[in-house]
Structure 1
Amino acid sequence: MIDHIGLQVSGYERSREFYRKVLAPLGGVLVMEVTAAQTGDGDHAGFGVQGVPNFWIGTSSNGMATGPVHIAFVAPNRAAVDDFFLIALAAGAKDNGPPGLRPHYHEHYYGAFVLDPDGHNIEAVCHRPE
């Protein structure tokens, strides 16, 4: 059900190195990084096992470590991502990124983002090429 989760950090490099060290005994490694220029917000680092980044840290444009949590749910296909987005908006969520490809993550990354009633960044994502 959960694809990945993300936390905001106040010091990107410091936190990236901290998690690089503490996740190593658990088999976790730094899988990828995306820049503020790519995300439109802050720098982000994705950690995981077997090449799949499912724990993310990142800075926000305001530089604060406190703030909304990011949770992404697995969608079985792109139509489900589209439905998630429309239903979430109808249920009172705010648009935080309409359905679409996010090739800076990988070529088939298709996601949609909404802010829930408490301001948490909730995403539905499909990794399939359909």
Structure 2
Amino acid sequence: MSYSELCIEECATIQVSLEQGLSIRKVADLLERSPSTISREVRRNRSSDGRYRVSHAQQYRHDRRVGCRPKRKLLPGGPRFALIQHMLRRRLSPEQISGKLKRMTIPDLRDAYVCRETIYSAIYALPVGE
């Protein structure tokens, strides 16, 4: 069974339906979703007054998602990025760079290690010529 998030239109339908007094099961039938999905959505995303609001649901969803995503290790302008750029200019491959970073101990760059895949994605994410 595949998972798909509720879209903004479905959330708006939930809000309007609940305000009209429909039950969770009726809303689920209307959206062709499981009643447990609707119940969980309403329970997770109630506002402080206990009512389901689309704006609150979207904000809560965004806040939960931001918290679970790992922070990027290579941000342009950062010291780790500059170090890797310097090593790339010295014609080291991403594999060599990740190996060197693993062995280096730089006080300012704790956990300086970056895997080769991260370096490759940073290289290909840059505009051509940089």
Does TM, normalized by the shorter one, top 0.5?
no
TM-score normalised by length of structure 1? 0.26
TM-score normalised by length of structure 2? 0.26
Higher relative contact order (CA 8 A, sep 6+): 1
